[in-house]
């Protein structure tokens, strides 16, 4: 699996109202799509709109809102280590 970093481009954009977290997310995933899915599951919120309101889109899925970069393996063990 890869270590991927999801980096928000503009956390002040209104689409970030659909996320409880607006910082860099580091995940271990097999693909960019899976990394974005994990971030959405962890931090996404449900949108509530009134009739006539313009909606927002979840930012974790938007390539112009969040850049996905492959991170170096250093500092990220392949498995969680058990503490004795």
| pLDDT tens for each residue of 38-71 | 999 999 987 766 555 666 788 999 999 999 999 8
Using 50, 70 and 90 to split pLDDT, how confident is the model at 74?
low
Whole-number pLDDT of residue 4: 93
- Residue 78 buriedness (CB in 10 A; 0-12 / 13-18 / 19+): exposed
Model confidence, pTM: 0.78
Half-sphere exposure of 66 (CA within 13 A, CB side): 27
pLDDT of residue 17: 87
CA atoms within 13 A on the CB side of 37: 7
At residue 72, the pLDDT reads 73
Name the residue ranges covered by the structural domains of the chain.
2-70
Predicted local distance difference test score (pLDDT) of residue 42: 95
Main-chain dihedrals φ then ψ at residue 6, nearest 5 degrees: -100, 115
């Amino acid at each position: 699996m890869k270590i991927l970093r999801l980096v928000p481009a503009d956390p002040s954009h209104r689409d970030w109202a659909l996320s409880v977290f607006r910082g860099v997310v580091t995940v271990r995933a097999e693909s960019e799509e899976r990394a974005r899915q994990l971030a959405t599951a962890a931090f996404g919120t449900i949108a509530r709109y009134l009739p006539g309101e313009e909606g927002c889109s979840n930012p974790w899925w938007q390539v112009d809102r969040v850049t996905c970069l492959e991170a170096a393996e250093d500092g990220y063990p392949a498995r969680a280590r058990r503490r004795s």
